Amino acid sequence: ASLSADDSALALLYKTHPTPSQRLTALAEQLDKLAMNEGLLLTKRFAQAMK
């Protein structure tokens, strides 16, 4: 069963939840912030763990 575009429940959903494009925009902004952080490189430790 599908909802019509005029359904009040659907209107409430759109009013209270961001659209997928808004969610992706917010996620991209956060990923940009994370990309700027240079974390510790533990390549030697990683190589030991992989043995």
The answer as to whether 2 is a domain residue is no
Query: What band does 40 get if pLDDT is binned at 50, 70 and 90?
Result: low
Query: Does residue 12 fall inside a structural domain?
Result: yes
Name the DSSP letter for residue 23: H
Report residue 46: phi and psi, to 5°.
-65, -45
Residue 40: phi and psi, rounded to 5, are -75, 140
SS3 4: coil
Q: How far apart are CA 31 and CA 25, in angstroms?
A: 10
Residue 24: the pLDDT is 95
| Contact of 3 with 10, CB cutoff 8 Å | yes
Q: What is the pLDDT of residue 11?
A: 84
Does residue 37 register a pLDDT over 90? no
In a domain, 31, yes or no: yes
Q: What is the pTM of this model?
A: 0.46
- Which residue range forms the structural domain that includes residue 20? 8-50
Query: How many angstroms separate the CA atoms of 24 and 29, rounded?
Result: 9
Residue 1 domain-assigned (yes or no): no
The predicted structure's pLDDT at residue 26: 92
Number of domains in the chain: 1
Asked, for residue 30, whether it belongs to a domain, the answer is: yes
